[in-house]
Amino acid sequence: MLLQHGFIDKEKKGSVNEHTMERHLRTILQDACAALSADVQGDAIEIQVPKEEFGDLSTPLAMGLAKPLRKAPRAIAEQIVQTVRANDVFEKVDIAGPGFINFTFAKPFLVAEMLRLLREQDAFLREDVGQGRKIQIEFVSANPTGPLHLGHGRGAALGAALANLLAEAGFIVEKEFYINDAGRQVRLLGLSVYARYQDLLGRPVPFPEDGYRGDYITDLAEAVRASHGDSYAGKAFDDVAEFFIDFAYLRMLDALKQDLADFGVVFDTWQSERDLYRENLVEQGIDDLKRRGHIFEHEGAVWFRSTDFGDDKDRVLVKQDGDYTYFTPDIAYHRKKFEKGFDEVIDIWGADHHGYIPRMSAAIQALGHPKESFRVLLVQMVSLLKAGQPVQMSKRAGEFITLREIMDEIGPDTTKFLFLTRRSDSQLEIDIEVAKAQSSENPVFYVQYAHARINSIFEKAREAGAPAGEAPSVPDGIDASLYNDDEYRLIRKLLLYPMMFRGAANTREPHRVTFYLQELAAMFHQYYHKYRIITDDAAVTTVRLLLCQAVRIVLRHGLKILGVQAPEKM
RNA sequence: GCGCCUGUAGCUCAGCUGGAUAGAGCGGCAGACUACGAAUCUGUAGGCCAGGGGUUCGAAUCCCUUCAGGCGCGCCA
């Protein structure tokens, strides 16, 4: 159940990528440091991608060692270079600036790595950072009281992409949606529908002050009338509350699931708040905290001493009137998450809830879990512009742009891609006119076009009777001189994918994938314009088709993480 | 008042666990289809990284401060 992504090739899952450019370099540098009697762990060595003219990879290692070794950075660099130069994976190793060491890999090595990419495909691209650790991502979790809006869409895109990313990175991932079906909000929903229903039957009642006012409320009231006629006419709300609440929220939940499905986002588990009560978990949560000594009573209320764990103030769990606060079932919920055995729990929240983080974190720590095992990713607001003018959104008046509308306007792929080209915690503006009008120059099409174009090349190759059909079979070796400098640029970019991938997984930042894909697509389009893939020279053609195939594999992998189609044709 | 997020090219944003001459897309300007898809490509202009101070070999990145925008600070949810 946990592995329903269909994306993970379970047979290849176990293989670990041992020989990317970066790992190679790391190992070599670690040995070099040992020779200098500097105890540096391979993983701790900083490796970066420099500007192209400097080389493929570089390290400021020597500058960092200057102080502990009490030597000049360049002198240290010299020593490192001496030991490293003998290695034949490098074409060039040199020192630049204040002490950077730049590495340029030898072409035969690059070619061999690319062939490995072609053979191993996804297994070559991913890095096992999770090592089977269990991680839960809870996201969207919208109240089932209205349609999903853009903020939810952003959370959905992020959560789904992150789940794909982490699953590929060797975590066991569960995607969960928390259903707020027990609180005041669903009651208000039921009451709103009730009021509209009575209106329809000519028995107007005052509309609730904070009620939901969207047209969908009236639609729900109509649906009640259609299925139950006037059997609830004139009855007091308290007598029919359960019916109206359940009728309304279950329909909203269905609609919400449909929206998410159409957006391409699927959840593994749906946790109901009511079930937490049914299973007595809310009470157990309080008891657990009590046992651990973090509960006190004050002025007739039950408090959690969250200040012991970094919160600003202590928090009430049971009010004077005996009701729970919103926080209390949430503690039970997070307690349950950990009882299910997750090593890490990620919540994706709207940024307006950021003030809630310290108390939730405190509760989790109080329950005995390490602080680092809980992580909240904040998704900032999405504001919508139409031709440069802000579109006013008021949830109260039921006036807001829904995810559904945006999906219908600009398509799920574009919507997801736009959401994922920004860090989640930066505010995002989408101008719907721009997104529509420029659809032909939209970044998502740019990347997809590269993929479709490669597919088209293979079609052409088949027609032309080139030595390749779908894609040439992968040879054991290729003469490194068959590739030109522009092709080596592309190959290097491909080989940097695993490094980018690991960074994205470690930081939980899928947007890095988006940026990488745009860069790769750009590089490919440029290459395509400069050279013909299918030529009279059979050897060159084969070798170029192999490169195209490698680009295609990487594009597909990246797009799949983002949850965006990799179309054969456009 | 306190806390969190943000401030980088005309616009939208990357880069932020300190590294080399700060990047991309869009928009602007000038160009490229008799060859695998022009949803593409080439060239060009555009910056006191909000301001100020500090830390050090080195700061867009870390610290302090000012300013501007957003969001929070309930025995609400």
Which tens digit of pLDDT belongs to each residue from A230-269?
Answer: 999 999 999 999 999 999 999 999 999 999 999 999 999 9
Q: Nearest CA to A143 among A98, A188, A197?
A: A188
Q: What percent of chain A has pLDDT over 70?
A: 92
Number of domains making up chain A: 2
Closest to A366 measured CA to CA, from A327, A297, A310, A418:
A310
pLDDT of residue A516: 95
> Are the C-beta atoms of residues A242 and A235 closer than 8 Å to each other?
no
Give the pair of three-digit tokens for residue A460.
Answer: 């052409």
Q: Domain boundary at A90, A105, A120, which?
A: A105
- The closest alpha carbon to A174, from A183, A182, A163, belongs to A163
The whole domain housing A61 covers 21-105
Smallest CA–C1' separation from A62, nucleotide: B19
Does a structural domain hold residue A368? Answer: no
Show which positions of strand B are touched by protein (CB under 7 A). 3-7, 12-17, 19-20, 23-27, 35-37, 39-42, 57-58, 69-77
A59 is a domain residue: yes
Q: Is residue A190 part of a domain?
A: no
Question: Which pLDDT belongs to residue A1?
Answer: 32
- State the average pLDDT for chain A: 89
Structure tokens at A286: 């309080």
Q: Quick check: A6 pLDDT over 60?
A: no
**Closest nucleotide relative to residue A101's CA, C1' based:** B20
- Residue A251: its H or E element: helix A237-263
Residues 334-363/A with CB < 7 A to strand B: 351-356
Domain boundary among A49, A81, A105: A105
User: pLDDT, tens digit, for every residue of A146-188?
Assistant: 999 888 999 999 999 999 999 999 999 999 999 999 989 999 9
Nearest nucleotide from residue A437 CA, by C1' atom: B26
Q: Is residue A93 part of a domain?
A: yes
Residues 162-181 of A near strand B (Cβ < 7 Å)?
180
Determine the pLDDT at residue A524: 96
Q: Report the percentage of chain A scoring pLDDT > 90.
A: 68
Nearest to A535 by CA among A457, A451, A452, A453: A457
pLDDT for A14: 41
Which residues in range 31-50 of chain A are in contact with strand B, contact meaning CB within 7 A of any of its atoms?
A: 46, 50
- H helices, E strands: number in chain A: 21, 14
The answer to whether residue A342 sits within a structural domain is no
Do the domain assignments include residue A546? yes
The pLDDT of residue A133: 96
Strand B: which residues 67-96 of A lie within 7 A (CB)? 96
In a domain, A322, yes or no: no
Report whether A232 contacts A243 (CB < 8 A): yes
> What digits encode the pLDDT tens for the residues A514-564?
999 999 999 999 999 999 999 989 899 999 999 999 999 999 999 999 999
Q: Which amino acid is located at A206 in the chain?
A: P
CATH number of the domain to which A92 belongs = 3.30.1360.70
Give me the pLDDT at residue A529, please: 94
Asked if residue A11 has pLDDT above 50, the reply is no
- Per-residue pLDDT at A426: 83
Q: Pairing between strand A301-304 and A344-350? A: unpaired
Q: How far is the CA of A311 from the C1' of B2 (A)?
A: 14
Q: Residue A416 CA to B7 C1' — how many Å?
A: 25
The two structure tokens encoding residue A348:
């994706």
pLDDT at position A18: 64
Q: Is the predicted pLDDT of residue A207 greater than 80, yes or no? A: yes
3-state secondary structure of A91: strand
Give a yes or no: residue A551 inside a domain.
yes
Our measurement of CA A516 to C1' B40, in angstroms, reads 19
End position of a domain, from candidates A52, A86, A105: A105
Give A13's pLDDT tier (boundaries 50, 70, 90).
very low
Nucleotide nearest to A429 (CA to C1'): B12
ipTM of this predicted structure: 0.95
Report CA(A292)–C1'(B17) in Å, whole number. 34
The sign of the CA dihedral A504, A505, A508, A513 is positive
pLDDT band at A467 (very low <50, low <70, confident <90, very high): low
CA A285/CA A368 separation, integer angstroms: 12
pLDDT at A406: 87
Burial of A202 (0-12, 13-18, 19+ CB in 10 A): exposed
pLDDT in tens, A386-419: 766 777 665 545 556 789 988 888 889 999 999 9
CA distance A514 to A491: 19
- The answer to whether A550 and A542 are in contact (CB under 8 A) is no
Amino acid letter for position A3? L
Question: What's the pLDDT tens digit per position in A417-439?
Answer: 999 988 888 888 887 777 776 66
Q: Is the pLDDT of residue A26 over 60?
A: yes
| Helical segments of A315-356, H only | 327-339
Q: Each residue of A274-298: pLDDT tens digit?
A: 999 999 999 999 999 999 999 999 9
Minimum-distance residue to B12 (CA–C1'): A429
Res. A5 pLDDT band, cuts 50 70 90 = very low
> CA of A543 and C1' of B26: distance in angstroms?
35
Model confidence over A95-138: pLDDT tens digits? 988 889 999 999 999 999 999 999 999 999 999 999 999 999 99
> What CATH number is attached to the domain comprising A538?
1.10.730.10
